[in-house]
Amino acid sequence: MDDSALPPSAASAGLANPPDQAAMPLHPALRPARHVDAAGLRQLAQDWCLLGWLPERERLLGWRIDATMPTRTDTALPPALRIPGLRHVFWDDPASESALDPLPAGLPGQLRAGPWPGSQGASDPAGADALAAQQLALLDRLVTNDPIAARLAGDLGIPLWWVGSTPPPAQVVPERQVAPETRQPLQVLDSPTPTPNTLAEWAALIGPMAAMYAAAHPAGDSLGLLGDEQAAVQQCFEAFQQGDHRQAQSVARRLLVPHPHRSDLWHLLGVLAQQSGDLDLAAAHFEHVTHRTPGFAQGWQSLALAESARGRHAEALQAVQHAVAASPGHAGLRTLHARLLQQTGHTELAATEAANALLLAPDNPGALKEQADALARLGRSDEAAALYRRALQQHPGALDLHFNLGILLSRSGHADEALPHFDQVLASTEPDHPLHLRSTAERARAHAACGAWTPAVSDARRAHALAPGDVSHLRQLVRLERQVRHPERALAALEAFAATSTLPADLQIDHHLLRRELADWTGLEALAALATALHRLLATPTAALPAPADLQWLSLQDDTRPAATLLLQRAWQHTAADATPPPDASSTTERPQTRTRPRGASAPHRRLRIAYAFAERPDRRDADWVQAVLAEHDAARFDAWACSWGRADGLALHTHEQADEASLRLIDLTGHTDLAAQRHLSDLGIDVLLDLEGSGLLNRASVLARRVATLQLTWLGRHGQPLPTWIDAALAQREPLDDGDHDPRRVDLPHAHLVLHHQARARLLAPAQSVTSPPSRALAGLPERAPVLACWAPCSWIQPDIFQLWMRLLRACPPAVLWLRDHPTPARQHLRATAQAAGIAPARLVFAESHATSPAQGWLGLADLHLAPGPQADPHSLGEALAAGLPALAFQAREACASAAPWLEAAGLDATTLVCHDLASYEDRARHHLRHPRELMALRRRLGEATVHAPLFDVRRHVRQLEAVMEELHERRRIAPNEVRPRQTNAAMI
């Protein structure tokens, strides 16, 4: 093969001569598959030119209709076929009547092609077959109903108009099928006969389409394609560069008929097929190129890309390795090699090959990206980020680089740095762009990693709107909607998805709990159905899990306790694994060094640094509690800090909200990622951190999993059982435990659930905002003299049968009202509808405002009796009611008894006064209190006196107990790092 016939890149590669075409089988999809002699084709063109054909002005349209169509003796063409720029070619058939009166040679618009191959009267059938092939090769279109002619034209790549009554033969795709594919003969309107039998009738059928074809395809210099081969190839590639792909494909196929050795034309056909989406045909063309010219690196490269697009990564890797062997100094080929190595799982080899590409082209953005991708997979995040930034310096507008860098930063704990890159992608793309949806979802995750729940849920809503059928987007939206206190939106999204598809097991649990949270009990599944969903999650180790707060709630229910407890342990393990940095292949140390400053020789004389971590909530209950406790700490022995996990809107506290920051030492982690929060707290050298959020929806468990303090504690009621590995001890109330429930990390306190209600007004972060009117029934919307039954537990704790019991109490006492906490609007609607169905006026259900639900504000003390929401009583609402001096009915559950025991003991009351055994005793006790208001007032008076005078509400004494526990635990951690729990004798004394 002449090197001049190949592109410059192929000519410079020193290609060998191609093998013989006859020795290589062709793919059945290749066109053309039959070739003719170039010299004979050129001679035939010259002969036809002598007969009147003007190749520079006319295109050839061949007619091969079966022998039943006689040719009229009239020498003139029918008017319908007299088309400027078009010449018609007819074949004679010796067996037909037209042989007696053949067409004269050289008539305007007509050519005689001689006998059709295989017909009677042909003197040399083999020569006639070769001549017919050459004649078909010169045609631009063929009109036929002959399957043999159609197959021959298909092998030569000649488009045809099929007019047969049966479908065309296999592997022949006509440009247009004039007749319908039926078994009946062709029917022509206004035709005297059902089937055209004369040339005039056929002309009436084909003429209009031929005229449109001639107008859309002006004639070219056909002899030029046969004369100067290289000039014709140049014309073909110029048509491709100008965007005329149809013309380039037509010329390339015409050229390959007499010149089948042109690998560059085969390669061009493969590129055209790939751009049109026919990957199978493109791969066949490229494979044909590599067989003909195995040293043509570009052919191997194109074959690798086509195979990769078809999903055949192993074949693509093999092809690109041939390309690299043919051109080892080509940086682009090595970059492609690195990409395919990554796709086949050879990450380390991919990093090495990308490094080789960078040695050849240090600023190649593709090589920089491939090496960065490989290093990111190997856990070398810092090096990968540096390479991405180098690539962005070369191409600042490369959206894939921005997206990949954002993903890397977000996954490595730098979500705040990832946000600008996602913003760049979103600003530069339309919603239908593939990266737009992915960037929206990833930006939502990045905002959530920074604790900015409000902007995170906005992005999650957009991602779900763009892809409503994606379960991952739905799961993210549901989680975030619940964190920003919009359960009704989360439930609406789940129900819309469930209407068309089946929810996964974890979302089925979310759906159940959301309906309970919104008091939608119509058709609510039993807990046994949730147990089935939990067991399905247990059987799938890689399945997505519900939120830890949901698993903790389910672990308190009898039907779901075993499976929920195991899943909660798995959730903690996943959190710990996410918080552990990936191994760095370039690092020589086995374990990362802690950032917490060790205590030296003078450690016992240094003040102990303690911090109370809480989540920002509208009712500020934890923030108020922390402020009161900090004020009572011994400043000579302790450095006390308040650590806020952050606000939902992602905005830091303003200056006027930090008026008392100097004395309270507030650590505001709003907008901090988990990694940034861990570094900030570790640099402070916190010795003991008490987490007040536990497993709630606003927890920052990934921060605690990074070990931000020497000793990390929590309340047992906030975390529940089991405890995660990053919690060293759980503070709980002193109570007898069963042997099976004994936890070595549990530390008993006499009064762990401390509620500050009757204390003096605590110093607040925003003093101006805390000045409110004293609580009164008029401000709360309650009747002045009627009995007020209260239940300030969340809706998820309220059992439907308990709510019906409350309705019976309201019917028994018409003046009474039921006071509930600040439930969402849909929950209020469901509760009022249920009450109305039970014969209770909806106005008798009063809902508290959000600003009145903090225990420190004292609003709950306006009620007369607090009711447990179910057998599994909410310990927090029960403790708040008793601390407010409000009698509270509870069931005989261990949690309820433990919460009520300190208050009842301080008031000198027996536990049976408020603790019930079953629903019947619960209802009888409530009715008794409603019938005897004086007795209820006396009971309330005794509880109120206990809250004022009992040492239970001595904040200073309680803080001293906390200080003693923290000092002992920290000392034992310093002496024996693996031993946290204090000695049994000392624990009993606390």
Condensed to tens digits (0 to 9), the pLDDT of residues 120-178 reads 544 555 566 677 788 888 888 898 888 888 888 888 888 888 887 777 776 565 666 66
Residue 452 carries which side chain, given as an amino acid letter? Answer: A
CATH architecture of the domain with residue range 38-218: 3-Layer(aba) Sandwich (3.40)
Confidence of residue 372 (pLDDT cuts 50, 70, 90): very high
- Taking residues 307-329, what's their average pLDDT? 93
> Would you state the pLDDT for residue 467?
93
Query: Which residues touch 890 (CB under 8 Å, ≥6 apart)?
Result: 868, 873, 878, 896, 897, 899, 900, 914, 915, 916
Between 384 and 28, where is the model more confident? 384
- Taking residues 313-319, what's their average pLDDT? 93
> Would you state the pLDDT for residue 744?
62
What is residue 888's DSSP assignment? B
By three-state DSSP, how is residue 644 classified?
A: strand
**Separation CA 682–CA 597 (nearest Å):** 8
Residue 382 carries which side chain, given as an amino acid letter? Answer: D
Global pTM reads 0.73
Residue 690 has φ and ψ, to the nearest 5°, of -105, 110
- What percentage of the chain carries pLDDT values higher than 70? 76
> Would you state the pLDDT for residue 439?
96
Answer positive or negative: Cα dihedral of 749, 752, 757, 762: positive
> Would you state the pLDDT for residue 757?
40
CA distances from 971 to 604, 633, 707 (A): 9, 18, 17
Query: Which residues on neighbouring strands pair with residue 638, listed in sequence order?
Result: 608
- Taking residues 273-277, what's their average pLDDT? 90
Residue/partner pairs of 927-934 with CB below 8 Å, 24 or more apart: 927/809, 927/812, 929/864, 929/865, 929/887, 930/787, 930/809, 930/812, 930/813, 930/816, 930/865, 933/787, 933/864
Q: How many CB atoms lie within 10 A of CB 933?
A: 12
Is the Cβ–Cβ distance between 60 and 138 less than 8 Å? yes
- Taking residues 673-686, what's their average pLDDT? 89
Q: Give residue for tokens 């704790």.
A: 797
Is the pLDDT at 20 greater than 50, yes or no? no
3-state DSSP of 407-425? HHHHHCCCHHHHHHHHHHH
Please determine whether the domains at 397-503 and 604-749 fall in the same fold group of CATH.
Answer: no
CA 282, 285, 288 angle in degrees (round to 5)? 150
Confidence of residue 223 (pLDDT cuts 50, 70, 90): low
Closest residue by Cα to residue 982 from 635, 706, 749, 690: 749
Fold of 397-503: 1.25.40
**Separation CA 822–CA 489 (nearest Å):** 17
Average pLDDT, the chain: 79
Q: Give residue for tokens 């003390």.
A: 861
Alpha helices in 257-330 (DSSP H): 263-275, 279-292, 297-309, 313-326
> Would you state the pLDDT for residue 834?
93
Per-residue pLDDT tens for 506-520? Answer: 999 999 999 988 999
Domain 785-953 has CATH 3.30.70.100: no
β-strand pairing of 608-614 with 176-177 = unpaired
Per-residue pLDDT tens for 560-594? Answer: 888 988 998 888 888 888 877 655 544 443 444 44
Q: Where are the domains of the chain?
A: 38-218, 397-503, 604-749, 785-953
**Separation CA 744–CA 746 (nearest Å):** 6
**Separation CA 62–CA 87 (nearest Å):** 8
Between 396 and 871, where is the model more confident? 396
Least confident of 246-255, 720-729, 849-858: 849-858
CATH architecture of the domain with residue range 604-749: 3-Layer(aba) Sandwich (3.40)
Between the ranges 72-76, 481-485, 629-633, where is the mean pLDDT highest? Answer: 481-485
Is the pLDDT at 437 greater than 90, yes or no? yes
